[in-house]
Structure 1
Amino acid sequence: MDVTRRTDEQAARWSGASGHAWVEAQAVLDELLRPYEDLLVDAVSAERGGRVLDVGCGTGSTTLAVARRLGPAGHCVGIDISEPMITAARARVEREGTPASFIHADAQEHPFEPAIFDTVISRFGVMFFSDSVRAFANIRRAVRDGGELHCIAWRGPAENPFMTTAERAAAPFLPNLPARLPDQPGQFAFADRDRVHRILKESGWTGIDIRPIDVECVLPESELVPYFTRFGPVGQVLPEVDEQTRAQVVETVRAAFDPFVHGTEVRFTGACWFIGAQA
């Protein structure tokens, strides 16, 4: 599949059902992913102030958290390909009055002003580029010399069984589940550490540091069924099936998650890379 087609597919997906699902579940997902947000906020130096770019900012939670840390001395800019998510993010910043702003665009192609940012961050926003080297080179040009990159991305599916439980359990009922292809845009596109290192090196970054982190995540049990019926491969296919099949999928998949359920909470470990580099 060529780069243009992959980019168009990502734009359609995140401005369509997937983007709207994230907006609708914004509060739940913000809490689920809060530990990762905290790691990125801690990585940004409040003393340095300056300008921060949040790549794949979604509905803006991390952008706003960093903006609050920087205070009036800095400014955080979020960029995302999803129109509904950027609209939600802009509504949040308007309500809050935090020094942040948002761009609806593809960070791979957007004509950033050269050397305008001091730091780039991303919480699960860099795995969807159709051409990762091109994307990180474009982002690099927007960062001043000596600036920093801090990203969090998922490791492989084998290390994240929670993330693949739904599709494994639903497979007998949903033969058209989209496959997760190695090194293709998607949740696990950055699973291969050596590939990530190569992407950053080829795109002009130095001082590359990629280390594993394991983060405990918590989801209310009451949100488990809405979660797996909205997101991931199952969430993409489920709206297309009849009610009987849907009921079978929901019952089977919910049972498959039992090992992660502890009373009123769903708990799992997120196996990720904490990626750092310098411009």
Structure 2
Amino acid sequence: MTAERRDAEALKALWSGVAGRNWVAAQDLLDGLFKPFEPLLAEPVGTGARVLDVGCGTGGTTVAAARLAGPEGDCVGIDVAEPMIEAARARAEREGVPVRFVCADAATHAFEPGGFDLVVSRFGVMFFEDFAGAFANLRRAARPGAQLRLIVWRGPEDNPFMTTAERAAAPLLPDLPPRDPDGPGQFAFARAERVRSVLAVSGWTGVAVEPLDVTCAMPEKELERYFTLLGPVGRVLQETDEPTRSRVIETLRTAFAPYVHGGEAGFTAACWLISASA
């Protein structure tokens, strides 16, 4: 097995394990937090559209697209995380929306060639081991003239809220995994020039990378659930002894205090809105 394949398998294991389970446990919180992004991604969806949602998670964006595409459309969500796909299928059934979900790696999955009019993703494309290979595979899945529309994070320096937990907890949690700015991960597409290069070499044209700043908020009472479930700190806390866990939680309450106003915890999500054509 190649090192690249081992890394992909490790990522799948992570998201099918603790990371995926924690995300599902916080599904309602994340749905509200990231709701403002749905219309931005679904904007090009018309009646009868065939849409692929990459890294669909628990399916919020996929379901939003399917509602716009209507019964004549065909909307598919794909993710490597089994717990998330199970939750996405339950969501679609509960809401009565015709949509399909596939548990697979979008980087290598054998899509029907030219099967989609639109490929979208909300924070789901920064984790591929081989970015150029993955986007080439997505290009093959898109019909000629199809659109690509993605939202990814800009850099950590633009998103201090996203790293507050690990910066504050680091002295108490020495096993926190370090971030690799050049490797797969939340901020892998922080540099616009990297995005343009990856899409160009994988066959996409007309690439546009535009800054996007979106206000996100959650009830203050949900903040502790957020930082104890999500991100590197949330994963490490699952295996931490109770005294350490309590110290971390108290430390993080103080660290996040500047983001709390009037019963809400809010921040600006500094992102890129990326578009391209097949």
TM-score band w.r.t. shorter chain: over 0.9
Pair 1:220 & 2:219 matched: yes
Contact 2:26 2:229 in 1 (8 A): no
Q: Distance in 2 between matches of 1:234 and 1:25?
A: 14
Which structure 1 segments of 5+ residues have no match?
none
Matches of 1:275 and 1:183 in 2, distance apart?
A: 19
Please state how far the C-alpha of 1:122 moved relative to its aligned partner: 0.3
The amino acid of 1:149's aligned partner reads: L
TM-score by length of 1: 0.97
Task: Give me the identity figure in percent.
Answer: 60
Amino acid in structure 2 at the alignment position of 1:163: M
> Structure 1: which 4+ aligned runs deviate by more than 4 Å?
none
Answering whether residue 84 of structure 2 is matched by residue 85 of structure 1, we say yes
Separation of aligned partners in 2, 1:131 and 1:152: 19
Partner of residue 230, structure 1 = 229
Equivalent residue, structure 1, for 2:209? 210
- Asked if the contact 2:45/2:65 (under 8 Å) is kept, the reply is no
Decide whether the 8 Å contact of 2:54 with 2:77 is kept in 1. Answer: yes
**CA-based RMSD:** 1.1
Question: Which amino acid counterpart does residue 122 of structure 1 have in structure 2?
Answer: S
CA distance in 1, matches of 2:118, 2:105: 18
Whole-angstrom distance in 1 between the partners of 2:88 and 2:168: 34
For the 8 Å contact 2:42–2:64, the answer to whether it is kept is yes
Structure 1: distance between partners of 2:268 and 2:209? 19
Report the alpha carbon displacement of residue 209 of structure 1 after superposing the two structures with TM: 0.4
Residue equivalent to 2:10: 9
Report what 2:153 is aligned to. 154
Residue of structure 1 in register with 2:163 after alignment: 164
Q: TM-score, normalised by structure 2?
A: 0.97
CA distance in 2, matches of 1:64, 1:101: 9
What are the Cα deviations for residues 219-273 of structure 1, in whole angstroms up to 9, with x where unaligned? 1111111111111111121122221111111001110101100121001000000
Greater shift in the superposed pair: 238-247 or 170-179? 238-247
Partner of 2:70: helix, strand, or coil? helix
Question: 2:148 is aligned with what amino acid?
Answer: L
Aligned partner of 2:29 in structure 1 is: 28
Q: List aligned pairs for 1:30-179, cutoff 5 A.
A: 30-42=31-43, 44-47=44-47, 49-179=48-178
SS of the aligned residue for 2:74 comes to strand
Q: How far off its partner does 1:96 sit?
A: 2.2
CA deviation profile, 1:78-100 (whole Å, cap 9, x unmatched):
00000011011111112222121
Q: Tell me by how many angstroms 1:2 deviates.
A: 2.6
Is 33-42 or 133-142 further displaced after alignment? 33-42
What is the alpha-carbon distance in structure 2 between the residues aligned to residue 104 and residue 168 of structure 1?
33
Deviations 1:110-155 (A, max 9, x none): 0001001010000000011111111000010010000000000000
Provide the secondary structure at the position in 2 that maps to 1:138.
helix
8 A Cα contact 2:215 2:267, kept in partner:
yes
Gaps of 5+ in 2: none
**Aligned partners of 1:67, 1:33: CA distance in 2, in Å?**
18
Q: Shift in Å at residue 75 of structure 1?
A: 1.6
Question: For each residue in 1:149-201, what CA deviation from the matched residue of structure 2 results, as whole angstroms up to 9, or x when unmatched?
Answer: 00000000000000000111111111111111012111111111111111100
**Distance in structure 2 (CA, Å) of the matches to 1:263 and 1:95:** 33
Corresponding letter in the other structure for 1:32: L
Partner of 2:184: 185
1:239 corresponds in structure 2 to 238
User: How far is the alpha carbon of 1:29 from its aligned partner?
Assistant: 0.4
**Structure 2 residue matching 1:240: 3-state secondary structure:** coil
